[in-house]
A and B are shown apart, each in its own frame.
Chain A
């Protein structure tokens, strides 16, 4: 039993056998209540958390809180790589539309293509004609850029505005300390001064 618990902890990122052993002894010797709580929470989450049927983010219900929220703007759809990206954008409070989660980016060499990212579902959403603007918020990496380009090609067949979030110099950041990739991106994504 101890052995198999140790192995189970190794499923966590960054946890090797040594760290796992510390966890095991801590829970068994000092915190059994915490251990039971962890076990129950894990079972609950593993059994009940699924992917939102509309945006594919992690959710306890068929529709996540954002998708179920009728106050939010249905006409804007922000496409992100991961659920963590939704969290980051929500923290900013600057966006009131809906999301679509790809759970990755196009990576042909690894066999990750359009269907693995749920792009047929996304296409269906655009076909339904509720969306006026699709905001491509994939990362500012080459892979993120390829993914954004592919989706924009797909979206062009529909009557929808296609935008890409700007990547650039962080607020409070000084040009001198930004790396060359950031500066190149900031320059290519510049907009009219108003």
Chain B
């Protein structure tokens, strides 16, 4: 590949590389996740930042290509406090679950709207925003199960309880903690249609169960950033 010119991207992670350069992980619209070297970028006056909609150009042969140009497509988002940490958590998910240069057009849009919403959302809804992102990410990466019906093919009953069976789907159960209503709310995917606090926790645990086999033994580090004292 020779050259990519001003493709939409988000910076997911940056680390210093050889004194004056940066090693940059991007989520791009056209080429999925990609790692680039930003030569001499470490000391540049305007720092390239995460959570900002960018356009990037890069070129090079071999595995490690170089960022040749970047511009910010909008004003920087001033994420604050816990929302900042939610954003870091999502970036860690992206860097753990995506394969390099495997394009996901849909996912780019999902991430974009997540970041845009995160900048303006109230703290109460931000966790629901996160649950929807996890859900969309899992469905998009092909790890989804059917949220419209249970494992036997019966439509989800909004007032019934369910258990989650990994990779199979939902099993109706009298003692099931997951309300049919919550399963439906994840399916509907509307930020304004949020479960109550208790079911929000159930959704958190559900997504945790769904993510666990994909993450393996290595826990997500950013979970430890949620200060628990």
Asked if A107 meets B46 with Cβ closer than 8 Å, knowing A181-B76, A184-B75, the reply is no
0/1 per residue, B84-106, Cβ < 8 Å to A? 11001101100100000000000
Interface residues of A in 140-194 (CB under 8 A from B): 141-142, 145-146, 149-150, 153-154, 157, 179-181, 184-185, 188
Residues of A within 8 A of B (CB): 13-14, 106-111, 113-114, 141-142, 145-146, 149-150, 153-154, 157, 179-181, 184-185, 188
In the complex, 20 of the A-B residue pairs with CB atoms within 8 angstroms, ordered by the A residue number, are A13-B19, A13-B20, A14-B18, A14-B19, A107-B13, A108-B222, A109-B92, A109-B95, A113-B221, A113-B225, A141-B47, A141-B49, A142-B79, A146-B84, A146-B225, A149-B85, A153-B227, A154-B229, A157-B229, A181-B47
Asked if A111 meets B50 with Cβ closer than 8 Å, knowing A14-B19, A146-B88, the reply is no
Nearest to A15 among chain B residues (CB) is B19
Nearest to A187 among chain B residues (CB) is B78
Nearest to B72 among chain A residues (CB) is A180
C-alpha spacing A113/B222, complex, angstroms? 8
Which A residues are in CB contact (< 8 Å) with B79?
A: 142, 145
Which A residues are in CB contact (< 8 Å) with B75?
A: 180, 184
Nearest to B13 among chain A residues (CB) is A109
CB distance from A172 to the nearest CB of B (A): 15
* Contacting residue for B225 out of A14, A150, A180, A185, CB 8 A: A150
CB distance from B52 to the nearest CB of A (A): 8
Which A residues are in CB contact (< 8 Å) with B50?
A: 142
* Contacting residue for B84 out of A145, A181, A184, CB 8 A: A145
- Whether, in the assembled complex, B61 has its beta carbon less than 8 Å from a beta carbon of chain A, the answer is no
Which A residues are in CB contact (< 8 Å) with B225?
A: 106, 108, 113, 146, 150
C-alpha spacing A185/B92, complex, angstroms? 25
Q: Is the CB of B229 within 8 A of A14?
A: no
C-alpha spacing A153/B224, complex, angstroms? 13
Q: Is the CB of A107 within 8 A of B15?
A: yes
Asked if A14 meets B221 with Cβ closer than 8 Å, knowing A142-B51, A153-B227, A181-B76, the reply is no
CB distance from B79 to the nearest CB of A (A): 7
C-alpha spacing A134/B81, complex, angstroms? 17
Which B residues are in CB contact (< 8 Å) with A149?
A: 80-82, 84-85
Q: Is the CB of A179 within 8 A of B78?
A: no
* Contacting residue for A114 out of B18, B47, B89, B224, CB 8 A: B224
